């Protein structure tokens, strides 16, 4: 059977010209090299080289093997390098699932320096509304789940990487714009604009309005953060977003963040993983960059 070491021998003989030099280059004994080629010649039914004085000259069959060796051996070497880089955490793919609409803006701050540091690692991001986050993580469809609301269960582990305050967003002309904080009843005449997520999963309902038995005039949904904030700035309603995200848009829009309740609502962005798995180097680097996003935002 033709194997890789046969091609390496043919290549070395053509390069060095003698059996001795070829054996030295391959760190083999001459007898081992010669024996391996004799077995190949029996298998092929044709000689691969002939002696020409002290040197070896490839036959037509040997030349055909050399052509193959010149094509295949570099591919073997490249594949081995790639696999070694994967094993060392220098190359691969990081598949990230998102269970948080505004977290996407945060993620961009992490991905940019990460891609610069790991040019051979690809990043793929999947939005929560396109898949089931926990199922995708447990089913090996993604490697990491970004969520502000971790669901702790067997087989999963979460790391908090970024703390933020969840605030009410109002236009500058709103009656509560000058207040330090708002009560749930203050929103009874407002249109609340949120992402298209069921109300029970929205913090402004689950942690603010519902426990107080309060409600808003109307609830409507918008998918994009930018349009949502444009609507708020135009006085079409109020919203609830991470404070850092609101502050980023304040320089361009007449909007104001207001604390939800006297104590506020504070949350963490978590990264979820399958428990007990060894993580490649680039995943650990991603985590470290994520933990340092305070100075990036």
Question: SS in 3 state form for 238-251?
Answer: EEEEEHHHHHHHHC
pLDDT at 296 over 80: no
Contact 135, 274 (CB under 8 A): no
d(CA 196, CA 152): 24
d(CA 278, CA 283): 10
More confident residue, 227 or 85: 227
> SS3 of 141, please?
coil
Which residues, 6 or more positions from 242, have their beta carbon under 8 angstroms from its beta carbon?
102, 106, 164, 165, 166, 167, 267
pTM of the model: 0.68
Mean pLDDT calculated for residue range 88-96: 77
Mean pLDDT calculated for residue range 102-119: 91
Q: Give the closest residue to 243 by CA, choosing from 179, 186, 297, 178.
A: 297
Tell me the DSSP string of 20-45: HHHHHHHT--HHHHHHHHHHHHHHHT
pLDDT at 154 over 80: yes
Mean pLDDT over each residue of the chain, to the nearest integer: 90
Would you say domain 163-267 falls under CATH 3.30.420.80? Answer: no
Residue 64: count of CB within 10 angstroms of its CB: 15
Q: Give the closest residue to 245 by CA, choosing from 105, 47, 117, 99.
A: 105
Q: What fold characterizes domain 96-159+270-295?
A: D-Maltodextrin-Binding Protein; domain 2 (3.40.190)
**Largest interatomic CA distance in the chain:** 101
User: Same topology for domains 4-87 and 163-267, yes or no?
Assistant: no
What are residue 169's phi and psi, to 5 degrees? -115, 125
Domain spanning 4-87 has what CATH number?
1.10.10.10
Of 101-115, 169-183, 282-296, give the lowest mean pLDDT range: 282-296
Strands 92-98, 144-147: pairing is parallel
pLDDT at 242 over 90: yes
Please tell me the predicted confidence (pLDDT) of residue 82. 63
* DSSP H or E segment with residue 117: helix 103-117
Percent of the chain predicted with pLDDT > 90: 59
Instruction: Report how far apart, in Å, the C-alpha atoms of 119 and of each of 63, 75, 90, 116, 288 are.
Output: 39, 21, 9, 6, 17
d(CA 259, CA 145): 28
pLDDT at 128 over 80: no
More confident residue, 220 or 126: 220
Per-domain boundaries in the chain: 4-87, 96-159+270-295, 163-267
d(CA 192, CA 215): 10
Please tell me the predicted confidence (pLDDT) of residue 287. 95
């Amino acid at each position: 059977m033709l194997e890789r070491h046969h091609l390496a021998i043919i290549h070395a003989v053509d390069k060095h010209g003698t059996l001795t030099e070829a054996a030295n280059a391959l760190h083999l004994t001459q007898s081992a090299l010669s024996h391996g080629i004799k077995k190949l010649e029996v298998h092929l039914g044709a000689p691969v080289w002939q002696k020409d004085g002290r040197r070896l000259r490839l036959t037509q069959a040997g030349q055909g093997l050399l052509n193959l060796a010149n094509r295949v051996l570099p591919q073997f070497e490249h594949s081995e390098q790639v696999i070694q880089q994967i094993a060392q955490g220098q190359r691969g793919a990081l598949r990230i699932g998102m269970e948080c609409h505004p977290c996407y803006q945060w993620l961009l701050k992490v991905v940019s320096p990460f891609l610069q540091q790991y040019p051979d690692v690809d990043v793929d991001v999947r939005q929560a509304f396109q898949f089931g986050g926990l199922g995708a993580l447990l089913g090996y469809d993604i490697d990491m789940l970004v969520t502000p609301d971790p669901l702790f269960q067997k087989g999963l582990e979460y790391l908090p990487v970024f703390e933020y305050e969840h605030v009410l967003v109002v236009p500058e002309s709103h009656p509560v714009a000058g207040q330090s904080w708002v009560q749930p009843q203050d929103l009874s005449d407002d249109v609340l604009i949120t992402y298209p997520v069921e109300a029970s999963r929205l913090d402004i309902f689950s942690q603010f309005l519902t426990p107080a038995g309060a409600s808003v005039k109307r609830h409507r949904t918008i998918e994009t953060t930018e349009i949502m904030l444009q609507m708020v700035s135009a006085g079409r309603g109020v919203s609830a977003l991470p404070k850092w995200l609101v502050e980023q848009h304040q320089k361009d829009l007449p909007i104001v963040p207001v604390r939800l309740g006297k104590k506020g609502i504070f949350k963490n962005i978590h990264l979820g993983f399958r428990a007990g798995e060894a993580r490649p180097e680039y995943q650990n680097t991603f985590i470290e960059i994520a933990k340092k996003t305070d100075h990036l935002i």
